[in-house]
Structure 1
Amino acid sequence: MSMLDQKICAWGGPFCAATLGAGLLMAGFVPPPGPELSAQQVATIYRDNAMLIRLGMILGLAGISGFIALVCVITTQMRHMQVASRLPADLQLGAGAIGVLTLMFPNMVLAIAAFRPERDPALTQMLNDIAWLLVIPAFPTFLAQFGAIAIGTLTDKRPDPIFPRWAGYLNIWLGLLLVPGAFAYIFRTGPFAWNGLLSFWIAASAFFVWLIVMTPLTLSAINRTVQEG
C-alpha cells in the first residue's frame, strides 16, 4: 500500500467513531433502551422512531467501514515489527475481521426491528434483545485484537518501535474494560445491564478511545516505515 492509501485507512478510526456514534445518537440508542422495559414499551420506541432508527443504523453501517480500514492498516504496520513471528499481526487482523461482524450484525438487527414496527411487540422485543446481546458481550474478539497489538508492541525489538510501549499497555486496559459486558446476559438492571455503567458507558468509551488513539499512532508509524523504504 502507498503512503496515501495507508493514511486514508488510518483516518478510518475517527470516521468510524464519528459516524457510528452519530448513528446511535440519531436512533436514540445512547444509552440503549433498558432490558427491563416491557415488550409494549420497546415496541413503542421502535414505532415512534422507526425512520430515525433505520437511518441511524445505515449511518452506523457506513461508519463500520472505517473500522475495517483501520484494522487493515494496523496489520500492515505490525508486519514491520521485529518480533518472533507474524502471529501478533495475523491475530490482530483475524480478530478485527470477526469484530467487524459483531458490530455489523447488531446494527442490521436493530434496523430489521424498525422495518416493521407494527409487528407483534413480543417479536420486536426479541429482536431488540438479540441485537444488544450480540454486541454488548462481544468482548472476546476485541480482547484478542487489542491483546495482539499489545503483544506485538511490547515485544517489538526495533530501536524505534512501530508503536510506543505505552500503547501496548493501553490496549491491554482497553480490552479488559470490555469484559464486563459479558454479564449483560445475567443482569437487567444496574452497572452490568446492557445499558449500564460498566457494560455500556465504560465499554463503549473504551472502544471509541481505541479508535481515536490508534489513528495518530498508526499515522506516525506510516511516516516512519515509508521513510525507511
Structure 2
Amino acid sequence: MSSTTSTDPDVERAQPPAAKSREKLDLRIAFWTIPVYYLLFGIIFVPLAHVMPPPKPGLSTQQIVDFVESHSLTIKIGFGILLVVVGFATVANALIALQIKRMSVGSVFAYSYIVALAVGALPGCLFCALSFLTATLRPDRDPRIIALLYDMGMMTFVGSLGCFATAYLVLALAIFLDKNEIFPKWFAYITIWQIVTELMAAPIFLFTDGPFAWDGSISFWMGTAIFGIWECCLIVLLYRAVKRQPADERVPD
C-alpha cells in the first residue's frame, strides 16, 4: 500500500501567515530606513550642529570662533552621531536603485545613481562633519584655522553640486524612458527641479551676503524647500512601488 502526497495547486500555492509576513521583509526594512534616517539627519543638522539654517558666511573670524565655541558640545554630539548613522543612506539609495532596475532602462542608470550619490556624500556630508569636528577638537587652535574649517565645512555642505545633479539627472531620465510605470512621469519633472536647485547653489563661492550666499533665499532656502517636497514625494512613491512589487519578481542584474 503506497502513500500519496497531495499535488493540489491551490494547496501548493497556499502560504502560512508567518511565511506571508516575511514576504518582501528586506524591502520593507530598507524602506523604513529612509524616514528614520532623514529624521535623524534633521535632528543632527538643526538643533545639534546648528548648520541648518546655515550660520552667516560674512561673520568675522572672532564671530566664527565664538560660534564654534558656543556650540562645541552639540556639534561633537551631532556630527559624532552622523558618522555612525550615515551608512543608512546607502540602504535608501540601494532601494531607489532597485526600483530603477525594475524600469525598462539599462542597469547603468541604477549603478550611475548609486555611484553619484556615494561620491557626493563625501564633500556634501562627511567633509562638512569632519571640518566642524576638527574645529571643535582644539579650542586653542589659531582662530584663522578655525575660520578656514568653518568656511570649508559650509561650502562643501551647501555647494556640493555636480554629483547630486548627476544623480537627479539619471533618475529623471530613467523615469522618462521607463515603460513599466514604476514611478509616475510627474515625479521626473520634480526631480529636474532638484537639478535646478543644485545649479542655484553655484554662486555661494562668490557671495558672502544676499540671496546667492550659502544662507541665501535662493541658494539655500529655495533649494531646501524643493528638496523637502521632492523627498516627501519620493517616500510616498517608494512605499507604493514596494507595495506593488511582486515578492517573487526577478530584477535584472
TM-score by length of 2: 0.82
Is 1:40 aligned with 2:90?
Answer: no
Q: Distance in 2 between matches of 1:118 and 1:18?
A: 34
Q: Pick from 69, 74, 88: which aligns with 2:91?
A: 69
Q: Pick from 43, 47, 61: which aligns with 1:22?
A: 43
Deviation by residue 1:30-69 (Cα, 9 ceiling, x = unmatched)? 2222111111110011112211111121233345333221
> Residues 16-165 of structure 1 correspond to what in structure 2 (within 5 A)?
16-25=37-46, 26-83=48-105, 85-101=106-122, 102-158=124-180, 161-165=181-185
- The structure with the largest helix share of the pair is 1
Contact kept? 1:143, 1:178, Cα under 8 Å: yes
How far apart are 1:206 and its partner, in Å?
3.2
Q: Distance in 1 between matches of 2:204 and 2:74?
A: 26
How far apart are 1:181 and its partner, in Å?
1.1
Q: Structure 1's 81 and 91: CA in aligned 2 closer, same or farther, altered over 3 A? A: same
Which residue does the alignment assign to 2:29? Answer: 8
CA-atom RMSD in angstroms = 1.8
Q: Distance in 2 between matches of 1:119 and 1:89?
A: 44
Segments of 5+ residues of structure 1 without an aligned counterpart are none
The count of aligned residue pairs is 225
SS in 2 for 1:157: coil
TM-score by length of 1: 0.90
Q: Structure 1's 75 and 202: CA in aligned 2 closer, same or farther, altered over 3 A? A: same
Contact kept? 1:13, 1:214, Cα under 8 Å: no
Q: Give the aligned residue type for 2:176.
A: L
Q: Distance in 1 between matches of 2:229 and 2:32?
A: 14
SS in 1 for 2:215: coil
Deviation by residue 1:148-171 (Cα, 9 ceiling, x = unmatched)? 11111111112xx11111111111
Q: Distance in 2 between matches of 1:172 and 1:223?
A: 26
SS in 2 for 1:178: helix
Q: Distance in 2 between matches of 1:42 and 1:119?
A: 13
SS in 2 for 1:11: helix
Q: Pick from 186, 191, 195: which aligns with 1:171?
A: 191
Contact kept? 1:19, 1:62, Cα under 8 Å: no
